[in-house]
Amino acid sequence: MSNKEEIFEQLKQAVINEDESLAVELTHKALDMKVPPYDILMKGLHPGLTVAGDKFAKNEFFLTDLIMVGDVTKAVMDIIQPLLKSAKAAVAGKVVIGTVEGDLHDIGKNIVIAMLCGAGFDVIDIGIDQPAKNFVEKAKEVNADIIGASAILGATKFRVKDIDEEMRKAGIREKTGLICGGWGFTEDVAKGFGADASGEDAMEALKKTEALMKKLKAK
């Protein structure tokens, strides 16, 4: 195993072990070794996130594990994201994300952001309690591929429909995907509110966003 491969493996393990300080140390070490930031992302961070996702699906990881994995990912991304941007590294896609109007929850959204960043997406977070027009204005401004709407409170789910309608009014619905997430957001419910896909947890949200991106690219 080369030094680079070793460091990728160590970073992967640091993610799985939820060790933020080690992950930061390894990221700096990799950059000192002139490892391209995109490789740090795709060969170290992303494999770690994949294992974390599998563990969550198998009931070996729990919500707090995902929060901590999200924190590790964010810490690594805070270091490499500016470098990825300046190197104009290929991104998996551009996502504008926020929590819908009337809902102030952000834990799920923040974990999803970390997961998407860790999978190479460029994510723009517009925050909590956001009206539909703010999602759409930001998506137009940054030319987003996908809008992600988080709605944990059951009664705020209909705001996803507002976003869908706002996207249509703005003429971006054809080219821009809409994905939503939160407890009880089954695919049927999400589609009923005009979304293309939904994820009940962060790992599902990541998989569905990747699949939606593939679909949009194939258009």
Partner 1 sequence: MVNWGFMEDAPKWFNTPWTKLDFPFSEEEELEIERYCQKIKQNIEKDKMTPWERWKAMVAGQEVDMIHVQIHPETTYSIKALDGYADAVKPIDSFKHPKLFLKAHLASIARFGSHVPQIYSYSYGESEWGGKAKYLERAHPVMIESGVKTPEDVDRLVVPDPRKDGAYPGMLWMIHNMKAAFKKYGLGDMIPVGASCCTPPEWIVGQSMRGLKVGFLEPMKNPDLWHKEIRKTTDFAIQYAKALREAGADIVWCCQHHSAWSPQVFKDHIAQYCGEFAKKGPLDGWAYAGNQEAHVQIAADAGAYEPVQFLQFATETPVEAMRKFTKEINKAYICCEPDKAILTDLPTLEATVKQHIKIGTSTPGVGFGMAVGAIDYWTPPQNVDAFIKYVKQYGKYPINL
The answer to whether 153 contacts partner 1 (rule: CB under 8 A) is yes
Q: Compute the C-alpha angle 58/59/64, nearest 5°.
A: 130
Please, which residues bridge with residue 30 across strands? none
The answer to whether 157 contacts partner 1 (rule: CB under 8 A) is yes
The answer to whether 3 contacts partner 1 (rule: CB under 8 A) is no
Out of 68, 80, 136, 146, point to the residue binding partner 1 (CB under 8 A). Answer: 68
Single out the segment in contact with partner 1 by CB under 8 A; choices: 25-33, 38-46, 58-66, 137-145: 58-66
The answer to whether 62 contacts partner 1 (rule: CB under 8 A) is yes
Q: How many residues bind partner 1 (CB under 8 A)?
A: 25
Helix 202-218, helix 63-86: angle, nearest 10: 40
The answer to whether 158 contacts partner 1 (rule: CB under 8 A) is yes
Name the minimum Å distance from CB 102 to partner 1: 6
Residues 97-136 that bind partner 1 (CB under 8 A): 102-105, 107, 110
Single out the segment in contact with partner 1 by CB under 8 A; choices: 75-83, 114-122, 170-178, 182-190: 182-190
The answer to whether 2 contacts partner 1 (rule: CB under 8 A) is no
The answer to whether 33 contacts partner 1 (rule: CB under 8 A) is no
- Pair 79, 45: CB distance under 8 Å: no
Single out the segment in contact with partner 1 by CB under 8 A; choices: 2-10, 24-32, 150-158, 163-171: 150-158
Instruction: Choose between 38 and 158: whose C-beta lies nearer to partner 1.
Output: 158
Distance (Å, whole) CA 128 – CA 120: 23
Binding site for partner 1 (CB under 8 A): 59, 61-65, 67-68, 102-105, 107, 110, 153-158, 184, 186, 188-189, 200
